C-alpha cells in the first residue's frame, strides 16, 4: 500500500511536470511577426493648386497677377491637348492592332481627332490674345 501511494504520487508529479512543460512550450512558441507598414504619400502634381483652395483674392496671388493667371490657363490648355493626343494615339494603336477598323471605331477616331483639333484651336486662340 505504501509503495502504491508512492508510485501514484510519482506518476501524478510526472503528469503535472509534463503538463507544465507543454503549457510553457506552447507559450514560448507564440511569435509576434512585425510586418512593415507601407505608407504611400500622395503627390499632387499641379503647380497651380493654390488657386483651387483659396477662393478669396486676398489669399491668392493668382487673382492679382494677370500674367500668372495666363500661365495657369495656358498650362491647363496644354495638358488638355496632351491628354487628347494621348487618347487618340491609344485608340489608334488599339483599333489598328487587328487590321480592321469598324464603323464604330472610325466614329470614335473621328471624335478623338475632332477633340484634338478643338483643344489645339482653343490653345492657339488663347495664346493669340495675350
Whether residue 98 lies inside any domain: the answer is yes
Whether residue 4 lies inside any domain: the answer is no
What pLDDT does 7 receive? 85
What pLDDT does 47 receive? 64
Q: Output DSSP code: residue 97.
A: S
Whether residue 23 lies inside any domain: the answer is no
What pLDDT does 26 receive? 53
Whether residue 60 lies inside any domain: the answer is no
Whether residue 103 lies inside any domain: the answer is yes
Query: What's the total number of domains in the chain?
Result: 1
pLDDT tens sequence for the chain (130 residues): 668 888 888 888 888 877 777 765 555 566 777 877 777 776 666 666 655 555 555 555 656 677 878 888 899 999 999 999 999 999 999 998 988 889 999 999 999 999 999 999 999 998 776 6
Tell me the residue length of the chain. 130
What pLDDT does 67 receive? 82
Q: Give residue 95's domain range.
A: 65-130
Whether residue 8 lies inside any domain: the answer is no
Write the DSSP string, 20-82: HHHHHHHHHH-----PPPP--------TTTHHHH--STTT-GGGT-HHHHHHHHHHHHHHHHH
C-alpha cell at 28: 514560448
Euclidean distance between the first and final Cα of the chain, in Å?
115
Whether residue 110 lies inside any domain: the answer is yes
Whether residue 88 lies inside any domain: the answer is yes
Amino acid at each position: 500500500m505504501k509503495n502504491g501511494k508512492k508510485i501514484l504520487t510519482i506518476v501524478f508529479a510526472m503528469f503535472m511536470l509534463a503538463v507544465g512543460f507543454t503549457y510553457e512550450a506552447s507559450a514560448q512558441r507564440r511569435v509576434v511577426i512585425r510586418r512593415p507598414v507601407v505608407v504611400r504619400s500622395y503627390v499632387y502634381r499641379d503647380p497651380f493648386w493654390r488657386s483651387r483652395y483659396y477662393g478669396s483674392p486676398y489669399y491668392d496671388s493668382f487673382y492679382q497677377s494677370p500674367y500668372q493667371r495666363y500661365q495657369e490657363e495656358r498650362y491647363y490648355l496644354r495638358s488638355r491637348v496632351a491628354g487628347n493626343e494621348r487618347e487618340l494615339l491609344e485608340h489608334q494603336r488599339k483599333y489598328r492592332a487587328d487590321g480592321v477598323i469598324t464603323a464604330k471605331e472610325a466614329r470614335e477616331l473621328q471624335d478623338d481627332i475632332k477633340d484634338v483639333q478643338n483643344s489645339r484651336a482653343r490653345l492657339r486662340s488663347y495664346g493669340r490674345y495675350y
